[in-house]
Amino acid sequence: MNELAGSGGLAPGWLGAVLPLAIGGFTLALLLNAWRLIRGPGVADRILALDTLYINTLALLVLLGIRLSSDQYFEVALLIALLGFVGTVVLSKFVLRGDIAQ
């Protein structure tokens, strides 16, 4: 991570110019996913919105970790990825069978 560290721990040059745009794009995607999660016409749409929401949160955390030159964001992103995958599988199983455990 040290090769990305510029003055004050922020990413230098072109990366420092592109990261705010990418962070803004993923923030907009998070808002749109939250709208689909609340308004989704069906249960499958809401599950897909929740899945996409955690993936965009994961990408946003990785971008913030690059911007701030911190490894802790990557560890949190990995934890969210694991919990999000398990949550999607459990919700899908519940919708299909009406029961989580067999």
Euclidean distance between CA atoms 9 and 32, whole angstroms: 31
Within a domain: residue 1? no
Within a domain: residue 9? no
Q: What is the mean pLDDT of residues 30-58?
A: 91
Q: What is the mean pLDDT of residues 53-78?
A: 91
Within a domain: residue 58? yes
- Summarised one tens digit per residue, pLDDT across range 12-41 is 678 888 999 999 999 999 999 999 999 988
**Residue 43 belongs to domain spanning:** 14-96
Confidence of residue 10 (pLDDT cuts 50, 70, 90): low
Within a domain: residue 37? yes
Within a domain: residue 32? yes
Within a domain: residue 39? yes
Cα 26 versus chain centre, distance: 8
Within a domain: residue 36? yes
Total tally of structural domains belonging to the chain: 1
Nearest to 4 by CA among 81, 64, 91: 64
Within a domain: residue 75? yes
Nearest to 37 by CA among 48, 27, 28, 26: 48
